[in-house]
Structures are given as structure tokens and as C-alpha cells.
Amino acid sequence: MMGRDPDYLAFLRARLAAPGGTGGTVGDARREHAADLARSPRPPVDTVADLTVDGPARLYRPAWDGPAPALVYLHGGGWVLGDVESYDPVARALAVASGVAWVSIGYRRPPEDPFPAALRDTVAAVHWTAANAARLGLDPARIGVAGDSAGGQLAAAAAGLLRDAGPARPVLQVLLYPALDLREAPPPLPDPDGLRFPPSRIDSALRAYLRGADPTAPQASPLLDPDPSGLPPAVIATAEHDPLRPQAEAHAARLRAAGVPVTLVPGTGLDHGFLGWGSFARRPAEAVARIGAAVRRALT
């Protein structure tokens, strides 16, 4: 395992040295997470429109000649944190990098609404987007599903549930440093630069999300899908120093073995969460650009 790029390492050290959150309530954690994401710029996109898809949603549609291909996007945040507004910088960056439309979805979150509420919202959002594509300027024949981190778990699980959904079947799944095996929290990876990260809250997030549900069910752990052969093509992006990377790589291997086309975008030298950091260092910016190019190729 190689050390991090000096430019990116300097950014990460400064980020880790900044005062941390105060913890406290779920509401406190959500506000701190939103404040962290708010530091990222919001690049312009040709069309940005708020929607209502059971809950809040937002369309990001770059300039396109005719109906645009689109991805239904599920934000990260460990299922508990994040919403459409706080992930606005990330959705804009992905829309700009890919040149295709993204429909960011606000889903129900634990602890108020545990599994399978968020997954049901995801599946409903894909059906809604396919049914309303024409009025949104989208191509109903080129709609996929995407997500990062916890949103990647939702996207992968929804792709499994929608594989036989006819017109609503996603033509692509885009999984960005996804969580794909919820049986237990992944062990930390050795850090080549000796960085000390805050304690992970993944155990509490998993408990809040699953709340007693079977973690071995494919709807919870898409990596355990017994037959991935009918799943849509995938773009999977990883981060080298992310404990979730082995899950994503194993999922990519299983999909390929089942005959599903996979584009794997390795985030060499990067960490979980890099989608929001492209404006601060060269290495994450390059990774976002590679993800965008892979998505555009897959949808066009």
C-alpha cells in the first residue's frame, strides 16, 4: 500500500486537525455533517430544479441535446446523516463530471425509520423517475441508479429488486465506495501515513439502520445476492484506504464472474468520502473526473 499524494495528504492532515464534532444527539450529528459538506463549492449546472418524490428531491441536468440519460442518486451519510440539500455539492460535482442528469433523492432515515424504509423509497424513486422522464427532459430508456457509501448500498439493493421491473429496470448501477456487506463493521486498514481518524460510528449506524433485520438478506447485503447474473452493468469506484474497499472489489469480481459488465474505478491513495473533496486537492478531483467519464461512457 503506497502513501498518499503530498498535495492530498496535506489537505487530509489539515482536515483531521480541525476541531471535531461535539457528538450529542442525532440532530447534532446531522448538522455537523451538513456543515462539513457545506465547505465544498457548488459548481453551476445548466438546470437545477427541486422536485417532490414522496419526499424532497432535486434534478441536476447539464445542457443536453434532447432527452438526457439520468441516474437516480442516493446520498451517503451512514443511512442516518445527509439529505438532498447537504449533498448538493456532491451531486453537482457528479453531474458536471459525467455530463448526464442526476436526480438526488431524499429517503427516510433511521433511527426514525429503519430498514427497509430507505430501500422502499429508493425503489419508488426509480419507478417515479422512469414514469416522469419525459416531462423532466430525461430519456426513459437510459435511467440508472447510483449512490455513495450508504447510498451505494441502497443503489445496489435497489438494482437487485428492480432487475425484473420492465421499464423501471435500471440500465446501470453506479456504486461509489459502497457498503455492500452489513453483517459486521469492516475492520480498519493499516494506514501508510500514520493518520489518526476519529472513531468510526459504523456499528451504531448499522444497528440503527437494520434494527434487528437479517443482515444476510441481499436487500441488506447486496454482496450476498445468490445470483447476480441478471443485474445491470456497474460502475464501481473505490478508495484505497477505505475499509469498505474489499467489499466493493469482491462485488465487482462476483458481478464479472456472473457475466455482468463492470467498470472498476480505483481511488488510488484516497479515503472514504473523497467525492466532496475534489476542489481541495488534485487526487480526488482526478478520481471524480474518472468516475464521470466512466458514467458517461456507460450511458451514452
Q: Encode the chain (300 residues) as per-residue pLDDT tens digits.
A: 678 999 999 999 999 998 876 568 999 999 999 999 999 999 999 999 999 998 999 999 999 999 999 999 999 999 999 999 999 999 999 999 999 999 999 999 999 999 999 999 999 999 999 999 999 999 999 999 999 999 999 999 999 999 998 999 999 999 999 999 999 999 999 999 999 988 888 999 999 999 999 999 999 999 999 999 999 999 999 999 999 999 999 999 999 999 999 999 999 999 999 999 999 999 999 999 999 999 999 999
Residue 148 among the catalytic residues: no
CATH number for the domain spanning 161: value is 3.40.50.1820
Does 56 map to a domain?
A: yes
Sheet holding 101-105, edge to edge: 47-53, 55-61, 101-105, 68-74, 138-148, 173-176, 234-237, 262-265
Which of 33, 241, 251, 272 is catalytic? The answer is: 272
Burial of residue 222 (CB within 10 Å: 0-12, 13-18, 19+) is buried
181 belongs to a structural domain:
yes
Cell (9 digits) for 189? 486498514
Find all residues with CB under 8 Å of 228, minimum gap 6, and list them.
160, 254, 255, 258, 260
Catalytic: 225? no
Does residue 222 fall inside a structural domain? yes
Q: Which one from 83, 149, 181, 251 is the annotated catalytic residue? A: 149
Q: Is 127 a catalytic residue?
A: no
The alpha carbons of the chain give a radius of gyration, in whole angstroms, of 18
Specify the number of domains making up the chain: 1
Closest by CA position to 294, among listed 229, 215, 234: 234
Contacts of 141 (CB under 8 A, 6+ apart): 171
Cα separation, 108 vs 112, whole angstroms = 8
**Per the domain annotation, does 1 fall within a domain?**
no
Task: Give CA–CA dist 223/236, Å, rounded.
Answer: 13
Q: Locate 201 and state its grid cell.
A: 460510528
**Pairing mode, strands 101-105 and 262-265:** unpaired
DSSP 3-state of 43: coil
CA distance 89 to 216: 33
Q: Which residue type does 294 have?
A: A
Whole-number pLDDT of residue 155: 98
Which is the catalytic residue, given 83, 181, 242, 271? 242
Distance CA 1, CA 179 (A): 21
